[in-house]
Amino acid sequence: MIVNAIKNIKATYRLSKTSWQGDPCLPQELSWENLRCSYTNSSTPPKIISLNLSASGLTGSLPSVFQNLTQIQELDLSNNSLTGLVPAFLANIKSLSLLDLSGNNFTGSVPQTLLDREKEGLVLKLEGNPELCKFSSCNPKKKKGLLVPVIASISSVLIVIVVVALFFVLRKKKMPSDAQSPPSLPVEDVGHAKHSEPSFVSKKIRFTYFEVQEMTNNFQRVLGEGGFGVVYHGCVNGTQQVAVKLLSQSSSQGYKHFKAEVELLMRVHHKNLVSLVGYCDEGDHLALIYEYMPNGDLKQHLSGKRGGFVLSWESRLRVAVNAALGLEYLHTGCKPPMVHRDIKSTNILLDERFQAKLADFGLSRSFPTENETHVSTVVAGTPGYLDPEYYQTNWLTEKSDVYSFGIVLLEIITNRPIIEQSRAKPHIVEWVGFIVRTGDIGNIVDPNLHGAYDIGSVWKAIELAMSCVNISSARRPSMSQVVSDLKECVISENSRTGESREMNSMSSMEFSMGIDTEVIPKAR
């Protein structure tokens, strides 16, 4: 029933999410984006416990099919264009603990049953619905009748204030001044000048510098260091592990990147994007607090500097699929679309289950509107991963990210440096292109794999990577196509290893990946 409910929601709102095919929760590694499943044990089917359709372009009223999500705990429908009354059936979903309807166009009164649930602990978010009344006693007609006298009263008061203010201004001009005030500086002349309460972030996740010192045990354990500053290990409330990125005082672009990253991570949420836990903006102290990713970055694992073991071909493909899904979300799930602008293997982090998530959004850019295809901007990114077309024209497009992802995919396949220190050795794209023409695939693939891979899967991955790094952006695939092709690579590799027994049969996996099949997903 729950699977049918999700399918009906998808059809009603014409949601075109690439991963929304087949079984929403199985296989676990390739579950649908924007929802979360609970896996209790192998004998019990997974349950959908969270659905995030924030900023998904939803319109119209809420259909009754939502009440069939009987196990849902968190339902986020914020920042859409939903209209009509808030349906009372939402109060009947007993498992619901968070309901976010903010930023829509609901009208009328909130059902009393929902307000009762709120008193019992339901987190109910309704702000940003100007015509929605939280009390059943609201009377729109009465409000309208009171509007004229209220406006008249306010107008009278404003006239008096203007007259008094004008009197004092004229009087001040006549009085001599003993000292002149210093001229105000433009924003660019005052370093990273900020208001004490920045407008671009919410107070809910703001930490003081003292709290940052406490959570990091006075910056005791260093996780890494980059252009932004040093990253420290921390712990919030004594339980939640976090990574704290502290801005270096010498970072000239630090506040600009800090602001960009907080703005982005406050409004986008995806299982393959690193989550922002909070931030610190106190005087000269700037810090970003992220979820902790215990398995480091992809680059460390490819180089053998993390754990000393070699990632299998199947594991590499799954990391690639995860990262591609995160990038696809930025390109197609955000309105307006976003470009990451710094995709590289060190910005792909791995959690405790080796699920990959994109990180470091300091260079990310949004398009001005949903229909824009590019934005003209100063070139930024990492040498070796930088789209040559973007470098030459300053035109940033989604295909610039596709190029960078293609470079990462070549890294995953070859485990070679992007740019060799020796000038005699070419860029990885030139090197792979030359060997592909000879047909000698054995010299392309990472020798540490010792031939443990499906040859068809590897060839498809190489072809995909080379199409991503095409010199012409128009000939590069979209990230949606990249996701689809990578999932086919996974299926091909699993057919070699017999992984189907771990994933509730190969047919189920093919269904969830969008391969045409007659298999019916398990009911919830």
Feature table: binding site for ATP: 245
- Helices 313-328 and 479-497, axial angle in degrees (round to 10): 160
CA distance to 105, 140, 453, 459, per residue, from 109 (Å): 12, 10, 60, 59
Is 297 known to be catalytic?
no
Residue with tokens 């372009």: 57
Backbone angles phi, psi at 107, to 5 degrees: -130, 175
H or E element, residue 75: strand 74-76
H or E element, residue 32: none
Residue 297 near residue 345, CB atoms below 8 Å: yes
Radius of gyration of the chain from its Cα atoms, rounded to whole angstroms: 27
Backbone angles phi, psi at 4, to 5 degrees: -65, -35
| SS3 (DSSP) at 471 | coil
Neighbours of 276 (CB within 10 A): 20
Instruction: Report the candidate in 64, 59, 82, 88 with the shortest Cα–Cα distance to residue 129.
Output: 82
Instruction: Measure the CA–CA gap between 300 and 171, rounded to whole angstroms.
Output: 70
Residue 32 near residue 55, CB atoms below 8 Å: no
Kindly give the pairing relationship between strand 240-247 and strand 229-236.
antiparallel
Pick the catalytic residue: 23, 100, 342, 387? 342
Residue 359 near residue 348, CB atoms below 8 Å: yes
Which pair of structure tokens corresponds to residue 157?
């008061």
Backbone angles phi, psi at 418, to 5 degrees: -65, -50
Instruction: Report the candidate in 29, 47, 50 with the shortest Cα–Cα distance to residue 38.
Output: 47
Instruction: Measure the CA–CA gap between 228 and 248, rounded to whole angstroms.
Output: 6
Sign of torsion over alpha carbons 34, 38, 42, 43: negative
Residue 449 CB-density burial (10 A; 0-12 exposed, 13-18 middle, 19+ buried): middle
Residue 102 near residue 125, CB atoms below 8 Å: yes
Residue 358 bridge partners (DSSP): 273, 348
Residue 7 near residue 65, CB atoms below 8 Å: no
Q: Which amino acid is at 445?
A: V
Residue set of the binding site: 245
Instruction: Measure the CA–CA gap between 71 and 74, rounded to whole angstroms.
Output: 9
Question: Exposure string (b/e) for 488-499, b if CB count within 10 Å is 16 or more?
Answer: bbbbbbbeeeeb
CA distance to 327, 411, 418, 470, per residue, from 399 (Å): 11, 19, 19, 10
Active site residues: 342
